[in-house]
């Protein structure tokens, strides 16, 4: 009888262990299903991010090409390209500014070749004026300067088409 009780206890113990193992296995299967779904979602998000990066990269490279941005060796990152675009934008601004000054000097020279000393003019404002007087002069010439800028815009600024 003792052997029978021991066998029953062992069978009960095995049955309990089996139940626990089956329950764990079901939990693992459920977790695996959840993980597969999470993985599929993550892959979808990663694909969308990759697609967005590809579009951004193409756009940045197109802008670099349009602006004739010189890229050095190893200049493969978008950050490097973006810095190049910013630097090139600064160069274009400076070139446009210098060209505007050159145009203003050329126009002044074309109207008053004998009366204007361009060397002195290149030194900037005459030192005899106070800031308030210079501000007033700027107000007077601003509309005239805008008129000239509008006329020269096509020659100075790059085409935006």
What would the pLDDT profile of 94-149 be if each residue is shown by its tens digit?
A: 887 888 788 888 888 888 878 888 888 888 888 888 889 889 988 988 888 888 88
Task: Using alpha carbons, list the distances in angstroms from residue 107 to 74, 78, 148, 153.
Answer: 45, 43, 10, 14
Which CA distances in Å does 116 have to 29, 91, 105, 108, 134?
91, 30, 10, 8, 19
Q: Which band of pLDDT confidence, cut at 50, 70 and 90, is reported for residue 52?
A: very high
pLDDT of 157 reads 65
Cα dihedral 53→55→58→63 (10° resolution): -100
Indicate the burial class of 75 (C-beta count within 10 angstroms; 0-12, 13-18, 19 or more).
Answer: middle
pLDDT of residue 70: 76
- Residue 156: per-residue pLDDT: 64
* 8-state DSSP, 9: H
Q: Which residue has the higher pLDDT, 29 or 4?
A: 29
Span 62-79, average pLDDT: 75
Task: Check residue 43 and give its pLDDT.
Answer: 95
CA distance 136 to 134: 5
């Amino acid at each position: 009888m003792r052997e029978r009780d021991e066998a029953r206890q062992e069978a009960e113990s095995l049955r309990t262990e089996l139940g626990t193992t089956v329950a764990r296995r079901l939990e693992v299967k459920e977790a695996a299903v959840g993980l597969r779904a999470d993985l599929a979602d993550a892959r979808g998000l990663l694909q969308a991010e990759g697609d967005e990066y590809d579009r951004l990269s193409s756009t940045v490279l197109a802008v670099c090409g349009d602006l004739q941005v010189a890229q050095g060796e190893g200049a493969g990152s978008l950050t490097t390209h973006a810095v190049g675009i910013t630097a090139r934008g600064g160069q274009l601004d400076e070139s446009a500014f210098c060209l505007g000054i050159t145009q203003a000097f050329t126009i002044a020279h074309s109207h008053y070749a004998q009366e204007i000393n361009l060397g002195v003019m290149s030194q900037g404002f005459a030192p005899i004026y106070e800031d308030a007087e210079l501000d007033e002069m700027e107000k007077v010439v601003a509309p005239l300067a805008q008129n000239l800028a509008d006329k020269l815009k096509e020659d100075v600024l790059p085409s935006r088409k």
